[in-house]
Structure 1
Amino acid sequence: MRIQELAPDVVMFVGDAVESVATAFIDGKRVLLVDALGSQDDAAELREVLCGQMGKTVQLVAATHFMSDHIAGMSLFPEALTLAHRHHRQAFLSQNRPVASLYREPDMVFDNMALRWGRHQLRFLYNPGKTMDHVSVDVPTADLVCAGDNIVGNIVYLSRADPALQRAAIGRIQQFGRGRVVGGHMGVFDAVVLDNALHYLSRVQHIVVDIRLRAAATQWAEQIAAIRLEDCIAPGIVPTAFEREWHGRNLEVIVTQSIFALDAALDARDRVA
């Protein structure tokens, strides 16, 4: 596990399982967790560091979105209150591989809210994108925003998502004007990561729509599978192995879930008109 101090009272944990992120906001002995990692082994190590080594008590666990790879640790803090958006079940059930054993019914559900935690005010703002329950956690006093899975490093992940919603969600995060962005995976980034994610999304859409309009339907799957990450990622960005892996997953779901099919149909209609 990678542990990084983002402020004297803000600590980020990046687990080994899918590089899932949890962010701890510390107020004296009390801890508020935003997300809870992607495996119970990672979550157990998180608990050992926070509670065993640092002597803290986790009192609240808030989910940016309710998918199994972000809520693994909820059950390890039975005395903590849990917080999620009111559409959390829809997001949980929309997963390709939901893990029922990790599901914990939230104690509190909401649309938008603000919560004072020590010197920080955390603004939980409904921001549907990758899932319909997605929440952005804006923390002006730490100059950061927790974006959840609306970005995956310098790219996005498209499975079960509406690309237009993702684009709008990233745009709303940009409007907060924070200098740092904590992703649902990989860690913390400078704010330019949002521009990079939008660039990737636009390039992938452009290339896929072009293939659907130009090539025979029998060739779509093969040509989409051959789309290079280097042709999609923002200029000057050297992709990580994790980004490369999830780009590959994107190419698979673009075919199996017919992502961008509507965009191609609308483009074809507009050309005829």
Structure 2
Amino acid sequence: MKVEPLHPDVVMFVGDEYESVATAFFDGDDALLVDALAGEADARRLRQVLCEELGKTVRAVVSTHRMSDHMAGLALFPQALGIAHRHHRHTFLSQNRRVDAYYREPKLVFDAAMSLRWGRHELHLLHNPGKTLDHLSVDVPSADLVCAGDNIVGRIVYLSKADPAQIRAAIGRIAQLGRGTVIGGHIGRFPAAALGQALHYLDRLQDTVVGIRGEAVPERAERRIRAIAIEDCLAPGVTPTAFEREWHGHNLDVIVAQSVFALDATLAAGEARA
């Protein structure tokens, strides 16, 4: 597991499983976690570093969204205050790879926004639905960072069952915060430019799929969609990581299986006829 101090009182953890990210904020010997990693081995290592090596006690865990690949550590901190958006169950029940053993009922839920002081930082928890209905952005102005959850996946996005327009809007809201560092739900931290790069990927992917759907019969369209190269969708100068390449492949499967962008293709055809 990768352990990276971002500030004297902020540490980022990137687990081996799904490269899932957790971020710890310190107030003396007390720690607040944003997300809790994807696998049990990663979660145990997280606890070892925080509690045994650094001598911290985890008092609160904020979930950017309640999917199992960000919840493995919840059971290891049973006394911690769990914080999530009110629609957390919708997300947990709708995911593709649900692990019921990771589920813990949050002790504090909210709707639109809340703020809490943790040491020298004030964390602003902002409801920002995109990848999931319950998604939060955790804005930390004093650390010049924002935890974006899975509204980005590195310099791309993962569509899953989401409305691409909602993902696009969510990324736009994160960009408006103006933070220099963006911590994703996977891979790690990125400069703010990653937000624009993720939007570029989404727009190019949509344009490519809409073009294919407008030109080809469905059987041929599916083959062409599955053959879209990630390099044809990335922003200039971006070289894909292995994780981004893998999840681009999942996007292509989702687009075919769920007819993603089919409505956009229909609307584009109507505008062309008009």
Kindly provide the amino acid, as one letter, of the partner of residue 76 in structure 2.
L
Partner of 2:77: 77
Secondary structure of the structure 1 residue equivalent to 2:147 = strand
1:271 deviates by: 1.7
1:93 deviates by: 1.2
Partner of 2:259: 258
Partner of 1:183: 184
Kindly provide the amino acid, as one letter, of the partner of residue 263 in structure 1.
D
State the Cα deviation string for residues 208-259 of structure 1 (Å, max 9, x = none): 0001000111112110010001100010011111110000110001101111
Partner of 1:153: 154
Work out the number of aligned pairs and report it.
Answer: 273
Q: Does the alignment pair 1:50 with 2:50?
A: yes
1:188 deviates by: 0.4
Structure 1 Cα separation of the partners of residues 6 and 263 of structure 2: 41
Structure 2 Cα separation of the partners of residues 6 and 133 of structure 1: 26
Kindly provide the amino acid, as one letter, of the partner of residue 78 in structure 1.
P
Partner of 1:39: 39
Partner of 2:237: 236
Kindly provide the amino acid, as one letter, of the partner of residue 196 in structure 1.
Q
Structure 2 Cα separation of the partners of residues 41 and 258 of structure 1: 37
Partner of 1:21: 21
Per the normalisation by structure 1, the TM-score is 0.99
Structure 1 Cα separation of the partners of residues 40 and 107 of structure 2: 20
Secondary structure of the structure 2 residue equivalent to 1:157 = coil
State the Cα deviation string for residues 70-106 of structure 1 (Å, max 9, x = none): 0110111001010000010111111112111111111
Structure 2 Cα separation of the partners of residues 248 and 218 of structure 1: 18
Structure 2 Cα separation of the partners of residues 230 and 268 of structure 1: 26
Partner of 1:65: 65
Which aligned runs of 4 or more in structure 1 are off by greater than 6 angstroms?
A: none
- Identical counterparts, % of pairs: 65
Q: Does the alignment pair 1:104 with 2:77?
A: no
Structure 1 Cα separation of the partners of residues 221 and 32 of structure 2: 46
Structure 2 Cα separation of the partners of residues 71 and 259 of structure 1: 28
Secondary structure of the structure 1 residue equivalent to 2:124 = strand
Partner of 2:214: 213
Secondary structure of the structure 1 residue equivalent to 2:82 = strand
State the Cα deviation string for residues 19-65 of structure 1 (Å, max 9, x = none): 00000001100000000001111001000000011110000000000
Per the normalisation by structure 2, the TM-score is 0.99
1:144 deviates by: 0.1
Partner of 1:127: 128
Structure 1 Cα separation of the partners of residues 76 and 263 of structure 2: 42
Task: For structure 1, list consecutive stretches of 5 or more residues without a partner in the other structure.
Answer: none
Structure 1 Cα separation of the partners of residues 267 and 72 of structure 2: 40
Secondary structure of the structure 2 residue equivalent to 1:201 = helix
1:135-150 equivalence runs, <5 A: 135-150=136-151
Partner of 1:117: 118
Kindly provide the amino acid, as one letter, of the partner of residue 240 in structure 1.
T
Structure 2 Cα separation of the partners of residues 258 and 89 of structure 1: 26
Structure 2 Cα separation of the partners of residues 76 and 262 of structure 1: 44
Task: For structure 2, list consecutive stretches of 5 or more residues without a partner in the other structure.
Answer: none
Superposition RMSD on alpha carbons, in Å? 0.6
State the Cα deviation string for residues 158-195 of structure 1 (Å, max 9, x = none): 01110000000000000000000000000000000000
Q: Does the alignment pair 1:30 with 2:36?
A: no
Structure 1 Cα separation of the partners of residues 254 and 108 of structure 2: 33
